[in-house]
Amino acid sequence: MSPNVKRPSGHHHGDLRRVLEEAALELLATKGIGGVTMAEASRRAGVSVAAPYKHYADRDALLAALVLRAFTEQRERYRIAMAEVDDPGEQLAAFAAAYVRFAADRPALFTLTFAAGLDKARFPPLAEAGQALFAELSVPARALCGDDDRARRLVLAIAACAHGQAVFLTEGVFADLADPLSGAEHEAATAAAALVAAYAE
């Protein structure tokens, strides 16, 4: 995009935040959460260990940035998946399949969302992003259930099923199947349809 020659001299990037987060993501993917350290992310980004502290207060702040990315990317994916069909029930099934696909495409981000162990009070944007996601899913659910409480339970039930399938998929439970991803997507969508039938009034 920009006409910058990359890394003109030995140091200073144009966008250290981005590079650090990519590095952290790779660490997350290969070594798990415990493997995400400021020191190693710095090394991979090619900067000193002190540099990241100009961008993140501490390690948790870096993790929080990753979680926020995860929420943002998920929301976009679900929005697109749901926009492809018209029927509210099918939209929820499309969400369920997209949820599984996100876990498969971005296992590190997916896992992080539920395992970061961050102090939610310290990072309000995370709670907000979660709310926004839920709100988006509530639209089709409300179209199916007059009752708001029922709609909420339907969304959560479908998300729970999709989450479970996603976890099983990333844990390798379907490793013996020919196409684990398609299988899990299909199961999640099927479960969503069954739940829609059971919860809608």
- Which residues contact a copy of itself by CB under 8 A? 32-34, 114-115, 117, 153, 156-157, 159-165, 167-168, 171, 173, 187-188, 190-191, 193-195, 197-198
CB nearer to a copy of itself: pick between 56 and 99: 99
State the minimum distance, in angstroms, from the CB of residue 4 to a copy of itself.
38
Residue 143 interacts, among DNA, a copy of itself, none and using kind-specific CB cut-offs from 5 to 8 Å, with: none
State the minimum distance, in angstroms, from the CB of residue 29 to a copy of itself.
12
CB nearer to DNA: pick between 38 and 97: 38
Return the half-sphere exposure (C-beta side, CA atoms, 13 A cut-off) of residue 185.
Answer: 14
From 18, 32, 58, 84, residue interacting with DNA (rule: CB under 7 A) = 58
- 12 touching DNA, by CB under 7 A: yes
- 194 touching DNA, by CB under 7 A: no
- 29 touching DNA, by CB under 7 A: no
Q: Which of 123, 137, 48 is nearest to 88 (CA)?
A: 137
Residue 161 interacts, among DNA, a copy of itself, none and using kind-specific CB cut-offs from 5 to 8 Å, with: a copy of itself
156 secondary structure, DSSP code: H
189, 161 Cβ separation under 8 angstroms: no
Q: Helix, strand, or coil here: 1?
A: coil
Residue 124 interacts, among DNA, a copy of itself, none and using kind-specific CB cut-offs from 5 to 8 Å, with: none
H-helix or E-strand spanning residue 139: helix 124-144
DSSP string, 52-88: GGGT-SSHHHHHHHHHHHHHHHHHHHHHHHHHT--SH
- Build a one-symbol-per-residue string for 36-55: x at contacts with DNA by CB under 7 A, - elsewhere: -xxxx-----xxxxxx-xxx
Q: How many helices and strands in the chain, by DSSP H and E? A: 8, 0
Q: Helix, strand, or coil here: 183?
A: helix
